[in-house]
Homo-oligomer: A and B are copies of this chain.
């Protein structure tokens, strides 16, 4: 259905390089032609760009690339609708406020028969399984905690909710409050942590290379999370099936790994997606 991109850093960082490759999958090198969304946290503020035009040809995407917004947390999503018309209200990432913070959520997958009861605090605006999952997570967290709990307590709560929701189907997601970033894999999700010594990277989807040592300081740490690796010459780590990871300040700080972790090949991941009616 879609591809995910996340970035979590210890200093505000320009995502243009990663986004350049990612957006190429929106209609040029791939067939994600049903819109996209990208949200940038800047401090407590949030700038969310949504577009129902193909990402590779979108003026909004052009702006994102030329404007060079620096952010510590970015969540992006390219959509290939498996069914139905793409409308703005069904475009990821979704945004809500919880505990006086904005939260963003983007999902790649397909949840079947997932119809949690209508929330008291959060209701869906569109009609996707993804927004239902996001609202259910926030509703459950808000019911359980009046204020934001300690990070490990929050992680355990999100883990429990993730286990409940993924019983309904494929549930790759990225979620952030501008400070930390949750990433969960049902099938395919990769990440890389870039830190000193920085080297050169070459995009898979575009004839573009960057020497990160020229645009970083030795203290910078940048984690990039994506459905499939964006660069050809770097080592990307794969999240295991059913693994939940929490990123902060550009690195993994907590993870919940199944006892016998399974890592899908790209081919197997795409096959499962197809069998669930999810196109990448």
- Residues of A participating in the B interface, judged by any CB pair closer than 8 Å: 42-51, 59-60, 63, 66-67, 87-91, 95-97, 99-102, 121-126
- Tell me if B87 and A100 are in contact (CB < 8 A): no
Q: Find out whether the CB atom of B91 lies under 8 angstroms from the CB atom of A45.
A: yes
Residues of B within 8 A of A59 (CB): 63, 66-67
A102 to B94, CA, bound (A): 11
14 A-B residue pairs with Cβ-Cβ distance under 8 Å, sorted by A, are A42-B88, A44-B88, A44-B89, A44-B126, A45-B91, A47-B88, A48-B48, A59-B63, A59-B67, A63-B63, A97-B123, A100-B124, A100-B125, A102-B125
The reply to whether A97 and B96 contact each other, CB–CB distance below 8 Å, is yes
Q: How far is the CB of A143 from the nearest CB of chain B, in Å? A: 11
Whether B45 pairs with A126 at a CB distance below 8 angstroms is yes
Give the shortest distance, in Å, between A91 (CB) and chain B (any CB). 7
CA A170 – CA B125 in complex, angstroms?
Answer: 32
B125 touches A44 (CB 8 A): yes
B50 touches A47 (CB 8 A): yes
B97 close to A43 (CB less than 8 A): no
| A125, B96: Cβ atoms closer than 8 Å | no
A121 and B123 contact, CB distance less than 8 A: no
Q: What B residues does A122 contact at CB under 8 A?
A: 97
> Closest CB of chain B to A133's CB: distance in Å?
15
CA distance A192 to B109 in the complex (A): 47
In the bound complex, what is the Cα–Cα distance between A122 and B49 (angstroms)? 23
Given A49-B49, A63-B63, A97-B125: 15 more A-B contacts, CB < 8 Å: A43-B88, A44-B88, A45-B50, A45-B88, A45-B89, A45-B90, A45-B91, A45-B126, A47-B88, A60-B63, A60-B67, A89-B102, A96-B97, A97-B122, A100-B125
Distance from A118 Cβ to chain B, minimum over Cβ atoms (Å): 9
How far does the alpha carbon of A104 sit from the alpha carbon of B43 in the complex, in Å? 21
| Most interface-central of A47, A66, A123 (chain B CB within 10 A) | A47
**Chain B residues positioned under 8 Å from A42 (CB to CB):** 87-88
> What chain B residues lie within 8 Å of A87 (beta carbons)?
42-45
